[in-house]
Structure 1
Amino acid sequence: MNAGLDALKAALDRQRAHVVGILEGLTEEDLRRPVLPSGWSCLALLRHLTLDVELFWFSGVIAGDADVAGQLRAGSAPHWYVPEGMSTGEVFAGYQAAITRADAVLATAGPEQEPAAWPVKIWPTWRLPDVRHILIHVLTEVACHSGHLDAVRELMDGTTWLGGDPYAAQ
């Protein structure tokens, strides 16, 4: 990976670990249980991070994979749910696979590289200019959602995320 992205990628990796870490130890029932009035569950948020964050931004926007971008954003149903019959293991495996795919895209990207595709139909007047800005956007979104998961987990069973030194070498 380009040295200009290393610190951002390391911070993103810490947030990804936070997302998975705060969910550890929850039962199947708790992972699927909506806690907030909006109705999303922890598992549904993980699916959102998989599809609308990891796959969409890295494979769809940075790499320009038209199939990914088209499937995920063009009039498709919201990804804040887990399809009936999809197991918890499949949702977690999907998240890890999406991270692996995203990391492969980042490994060949430069900080000033322009996105290969942009969803103009969704955001006709807004655009992130390069990989660095996209990575900052993704890092912010994942950090925000890890905070949501922190709050929900604490409401469920009192567990808080004390993952150690967030700046320790990974």
Structure 2
Amino acid sequence: MTDVTVETTPDGEIKALLTSLEGERRHVLGILDGLGEDALRQPALPSGWSCLGLVQHLALDVERFWFRAVVAGDKDVILGLDGSDDAWQVGSDTRAADVLDRYRRETEGANAVITAASADAALAWWPHHLFGEPHLHTLRDVLLHVITETACHAGHLDAARELLDGRRWMVLP
């Protein structure tokens, strides 16, 4: 039997949504560029979240959960759905570079899922036992949700960065 590789090309709508998501992902990493390990771990709000914790949340609870688990159906990749793990908390033995690299890897994995499906593709899995009935139903819905969530968190990182050292994203001198 011959192994045949099928290359998929996303449709125009998926390309446009993915372009928007990629812009938000670049913003997340770009606003953190140049921050040292200590600054990335410094609590940004009284609730205690740090920039590094927010990026880990985006990697695990957003990119991994929504694309690899919910859209693709690989529920074994989920971390923390039973409440035992908190993606917002980064262990002191975890290097910042490892968290940022994990985010990059998760976005690459998400992109593979996104480009292999149509905008109307139904969700492959949903954790009903945790969240009840799904409020999203297609890849399109998930993409729009993740774009919104990533943009919102990029804004949080903007505010945190300005509080840490005064740097602002895309501001002309």
Q: Does TM-score exceed 0.5, indicating one fold? A: yes
Q: Is the 8 A contact 2:49 2:88 kept in 1?
A: yes
Shift of 1:163: 7.3
User: What are the Cα deviations for residues 105-135 of structure 1, in whole angstroms up to 9, with x where unaligned?
Assistant: 1110110000100111222134211000000
Cα distance in 2, alignment partners of residues 163 and 92 from structure 1 = 24
Larger Rg: 2
Q: Report whether the alignment pairs 1:41 with 2:58.
A: no
The match for 1:109 among 102, 114, 117 is 117
Conserved 8 A contact 2:71-2:139 = yes
SS at match of 2:123: coil
Q: Which moved more, 1:100-109 or 1:122-131?
A: 122-131
Q: Which residue matches 1:67?
A: 76
Q: Does 1:26 align with 2:35?
A: yes
What SS does the aligned partner of 1:73 have? coil
- Matches of 1:36 and 1:154, distance apart in 2: 13
Equivalent residue number for residue 130 of structure 1: 138
Identity score, percent? 45
Letter in 2 for 1:22: I
Q: What is the CA–CA distance in structure 2 between the aligned matches of 1:103 and 1:43, rounded to whole Å?
A: 22
Tell whether 2:160 aligns with 1:152.
yes
Contact preservation (8 Å) 1:118, 1:127: no
Q: Is the 8 A contact 1:32 1:44 kept in 2?
A: yes
- Native 8 Å contact 2:14 2:115 kept in 1: no
Per the TM alignment, residue 27 of structure 1 is displaced from its structure 2 partner at its CA by: 1.3
Matched position secondary structure for 1:122: helix
Which runs of 4 or more aligned residues in structure 1 lie more than 3 Å from their structure 2 counterparts after TM superposition? Answer: none
Q: Please give the TM-score of this superposition, normalised by the length of structure 1.
A: 0.91
Contact kept in structure 2, 1:61 and 1:115, CA below 8 Å: yes
| Shift of residue 153, structure 1, vs aligned partner | 0.5
Q: Compared with structure 1, are the counterparts of its residues 163 and 116 closer, same or farther at alpha carbon in structure 2 (3 Å cutoff)?
A: farther
CA RMSD of aligned residues (A): 1.4
Letter matched to residue 127 of structure 2: P
Aligned to 2:3: none
Q: Does 1:57 align with 2:66?
A: yes
Matched pairs, number: 163
Unmatched 5+ stretches in structure 2: 1-9
